[in-house]
Chain A
C-alpha cells in the first residue's frame, strides 16, 4: 500500500540573485515498510526535499508545482495549520540531521518526548509519560534515562531518543535526513539496524537521505540518485547498484571506497555541482560528464524507464552501457 506519493514536485527559493531550483520535478511513491534512499552530494537539494515534504520551509521558499499525497490528502494545497495539526509527527515525522543539536539542552529527554506527544494528541500527562517509557525501551534506552538531560547522553543515544520521539505518534512515514552524520561507524550500524527494525514494527515507510552510497545500498529497497534538484536515476536498489546506468551514478560508485575489495584506485567526478540559480542548459550534469555530446548541452533528457522499475535521465545510457559491457 502506498503511504506517500509525490508528483512533479517543484520547490524554488527566491533570492535576490534569482530562483534557486532546489527541488525540480520529482516523482516517487513509498509503500508501507518500504525504504527509499535518496543519495546525492551537498547542494543537490536532498535536504530541501525533506523540508518540502514536511512543509517546514523558510519564507522565501515556494512550492511551485506538484502534489504530496499522504492518505488521499494533498499537503501542498493544505493549510499550514492543518499540516501542523494533522500531518507533522502524526503522519510524517522527521529524524533530523545532527541529533546532537536537535534536543533542547535544558529539558529532560523524557519530558521532551512526552511534550511532543501531548502537543499533537489528546492524551493525559500520565499516558504520555507511559508512552515515552515504552518508546525509550523500544529504541534500546533504559526508560530511567528519560529523567536525564541531553548532555548526559552519548551521540548515539541522542539519535536513538530522536528516533523514539519521531515514532511517538505512529507516523506513516519517517524522513531520516543523514541520520548518522557525526556518529562513529559502530554506533551508526546500531542506528541503521534500529531504523530497519522500527519501520517493520510500526509499518512506516522511510525516506533515507544520505550522501553515503553504501548506507543507502544497505538500507533501501529503492534508490534515487539526485543531482541538481532532479533524480538522474531511480529504481529498485538492486538494479541501481548492480546495473548503474547514469554517468553520475557510475562516477559516484567509482569514487567510493569499498571495504570488501582489494586495494583499488579511486576516481573522481571532476568539477563541482552546478549553481541552481542558473543551472547548465540541457542535462545539468553535462559539464562534468565524460560522455557529454552536443545534444546534452541543448536538450534535457527526461527520466525514462530503461528497464522495468529502473529509470534513468541520460541521452546515452544505452551506448554507455554497451561500451562498459564491452570493456569487461
Chain B
C-alpha cells in the first residue's frame, strides 16, 4: 500500500505525566518521577482500516486515544493526519480539525445526555461546527446518520430520549453522533465492553458496515482478543506504554510471537467445557509505569527471560513480513508455542 493511503501516522509518540512529589522529595528538591503512560509508540493507520490497540488496564491504551484526539498534547513525537502534523495545532486550528476525527466512548449509559433527545444528541456537533443552515437540513442529516447505524425508522426515533432506547441502540446513537460529522477516522474506546453479549454483535456489525460503505478508518481500543480477531485488521499489543507486537489480528492472536501476547491468549476462556483450561503464563501483575522495569518491561514476568532481557530493551522490529515484535527471543518463544509448549524446556511456569 502506498503512503497516500495512510490516514494517521503516529511516530515516536510519548506521553509522560509528572507525579506529584512527596513531602520529602519536595524538601530535598528531588523530582517525583513521571508516569510513562505512552512511551515511544509508532504505527500507521490506513484508509478503511480497523486498527486494534489491545492490552491490560494500565498499559496506556486510553492515554494514547486521548493523545491522538489532542485532548492532551504528547510530550514528544509526531501525529500526522493525512500528512498534516496535528500535534502542533493551536486551539483554533484544532477546533476546525476536530470534525475529521470523532470518538465513541465505552459506556453508552454515560456518554449520552439523558435530558437530550436523539435528535439533539446527534445534531449537536453539526450546530457547534456551523455545518447546517436550517433545521430541515439538520433533520435530514441526522436521519441519514441514524439510518447508517441501522436505527429504523429514524423518523420515529428522532424525538425519543435515551431511556427509551436499549443499550445497543444507545451505542448506535453514539456512533451516529460521530458519523454525522463525516469523519475520516473514528476512535472507539472499548465500544462494546459495557454491552450485553447478545447485543454486542449489532454494534460491531454497524462499525464494520460504516467502514465498508464509507471507508472510514477506526482505531479500536479493546482488551478482548477474541473480539479483535473477528473485527480488527491490524492489531497492536501494548504493554506498559509500549507496543510489543503488531500484525494482522488473526495471525497475532492465533500464532503469537511475543511471550506476553501468548500469555494473554492463553488466559482467554473459550465457550467449550472440553477445551484446555485457561492458563496463567505471566508471573505477578503488570508493573507501574512510574518506574518500569529496565530492559524489556515484560522480563520480570516472562518465562523466556534471560540476562540480556534485564539490561537491553528489545526494539520493535519486523520479524516476518507484516509482523513486528519487540522480544530478544521471539524465535525461540514462537517455536515453543507452535509445539504446544508455554515456556522453554525446564523453565518454571507461573502457575
List residues of A whose CB falls within 8 A of some B CB: 41-42, 154, 156, 184-190, 192-193, 196, 211-215, 217-218, 220, 237-238, 241-242, 251-260, 262-273
Instruction: Add 12 more A-B contacts to A186-B282, A190-B280, A217-B275 (CB < 8 A).
Output: A154-B285, A184-B56, A185-B56, A185-B267, A211-B196, A212-B269, A255-B201, A258-B270, A263-B250, A265-B205, A268-B199, A268-B201
Distance, CA A103 to CA B348, complexed state (A): 33
Which residues on B sit within 8 Å (CB–CB) of A193?
Answer: 277-278, 280, 351
Q: How far is the CB of B231 from chain A (nearest CB, A)?
A: 8
B280 touches A257 (CB 8 A): no
- The 8 A CB mask of B259-273 against A (1 = contact, 0 = none) is 000011111111111
Distance, CA A262 to CA B229, complexed state (A): 8
Q: How far is the CB of A196 from chain B (nearest CB, A)?
A: 8
Name the residue on B nearest A254 (C-beta): B201
Distance, CA A165 to CA B32, complexed state (A): 36
Q: How far is the CB of A266 from chain B (nearest CB, A)?
A: 4
Q: Which of B57, B201, B223, B269 contacts A217 (CB 8 A)?
A: B269
B269 touches A255 (CB 8 A): no
Distance, CA A190 to CA B282, complexed state (A): 10
A214 touches B270 (CB 8 A): yes
Name the residue on A nearest B265 (C-beta): A259
Which residues on A sit within 8 Å (CB–CB) of B227?
Answer: 257
Are A259 and B226 CB-contacts (below 8 A) given A185-B267, A189-B278, A238-B274?
yes
List residues of B whose CB falls within 8 A of some A CB: 56-57, 166-168, 196-202, 204-205, 223-227, 229-230, 250, 253-254, 263-275, 277-282, 285-286, 351
B202 touches A270 (CB 8 A): yes
Which residues on A sit within 8 Å (CB–CB) of B230?
Answer: 257, 263-266
Which residues on B sit within 8 Å (CB–CB) of A41?
Answer: 196-198
B271 touches A253 (CB 8 A): yes
B205 touches A259 (CB 8 A): no
Which residues on B sit within 8 Å (CB–CB) of A256?
Answer: 197, 271
A213 touches B267 (CB 8 A): no
Which residues on A sit within 8 Å (CB–CB) of B225?
Answer: 185, 259
Q: Which of B205, B272, B273 contacts A268 (CB 8 A)?
A: B205
Name the residue on B nearest A223 (C-beta): B273
Q: Which of A189, A190, A196, A269 contacts B199 (CB 8 A)?
A: A269
Are A42 and B270 CB-contacts (below 8 A) given A185-B56, A189-B278, A190-B280?
no
B271 touches A184 (CB 8 A): no
B271 touches A188 (CB 8 A): no
Distance, CA A154 to CA B199, complexed state (A): 31
Q: How far is the CB of A237 from chain B (nearest CB, A)?
A: 4
Name the residue on A nearest B224 (C-beta): A257
Are A214 and B198 CB-contacts (below 8 A) given A185-B264, A257-B226, A262-B250?
no
List 20 A-B pairs, Cβ < 8 Å. Answer: A154-B285, A184-B57, A185-B264, A185-B267, A186-B56, A186-B280, A187-B285, A189-B269, A211-B196, A214-B270, A218-B275, A238-B273, A252-B197, A255-B199, A256-B271, A259-B253, A263-B230, A268-B201, A269-B199, A272-B199
B269 touches A214 (CB 8 A): yes
Which residues on A sit within 8 Å (CB–CB) of B168?
Answer: 268, 272
Which residues on A sit within 8 Å (CB–CB) of B265?
Answer: 259
Among B271, B273, B277, chain A packs the most CB atoms within 10 A around the CB of: B271
Are A184 and B223 CB-contacts (below 8 A) given A252-B198, A272-B199?
yes
Q: Which of A188, A218, A242, A266 contacts B205 (CB 8 A)?
A: A266
A267 touches B271 (CB 8 A): no
Distance, CA A258 to CA B224, complexed state (A): 10
Q: How far is the CB of A255 from chain B (nearest CB, A)?
A: 5
Are A271 and B166 CB-contacts (below 8 A) given A193-B280, A264-B230?
yes
B271 touches A268 (CB 8 A): no
Q: Which of B166, B205, B269, B286 contacts A184 (CB 8 A)?
A: B286
Among A184, A213, A267, A271, chain B packs the most CB atoms within 10 A around the CB of: A184
Which residues on A sit within 8 Å (CB–CB) of B56?
Answer: 184-186
Q: How far is the CB of B195 from chain A (nearest CB, A)?
A: 9
Distance, CA A185 to CA B278, complexed state (A): 10
Among B225, B254, B264, B280, chain A packs the most CB atoms within 10 A around the CB of: B280
Which residues on B sit within 8 Å (CB–CB) of A273?
Answer: 196
Are A259 and B278 CB-contacts (below 8 A) given A193-B351, A267-B201, A272-B167?
no
Which residues on B sit within 8 Å (CB–CB) of A253?
Answer: 271
B278 touches A192 (CB 8 A): yes
Q: Which of B197, B198, B250, B278 contacts A218 (CB 8 A)?
A: B278
A218 touches B267 (CB 8 A): no
B204 touches A266 (CB 8 A): yes
B200 touches A266 (CB 8 A): yes
Distance, CA A106 to CA B279, complexed state (A): 34
Q: How far is the CB of B182 from chain A (nearest CB, A)?
A: 26
Q: How far is the CB of B111 from chain A (nearest CB, A)?
A: 18
Q: How far is the CB of B181 from chain A (nearest CB, A)?
A: 26
Distance, CA A318 to CA B263, complexed state (A): 41
Name the residue on A nearest B58 (C-beta): A184
Q: How far is the CB of B294 from chain A (nearest CB, A)?
A: 21
A42 touches B196 (CB 8 A): yes
Distance, CA A257 to CA B201, complexed state (A): 9
Distance, CA A190 to CA B56, complexed state (A): 14
A189 touches B197 (CB 8 A): no
Q: How far is the CB of A188 from chain B (nearest CB, A)?
A: 7
Among A220, A256, A259, A267, chain B packs the most CB atoms within 10 A around the CB of: A259
Which residues on B sit within 8 Å (CB–CB) of A264?
Answer: 230
Are A220 and B273 CB-contacts (below 8 A) given A189-B279, A266-B201, A272-B166?
yes
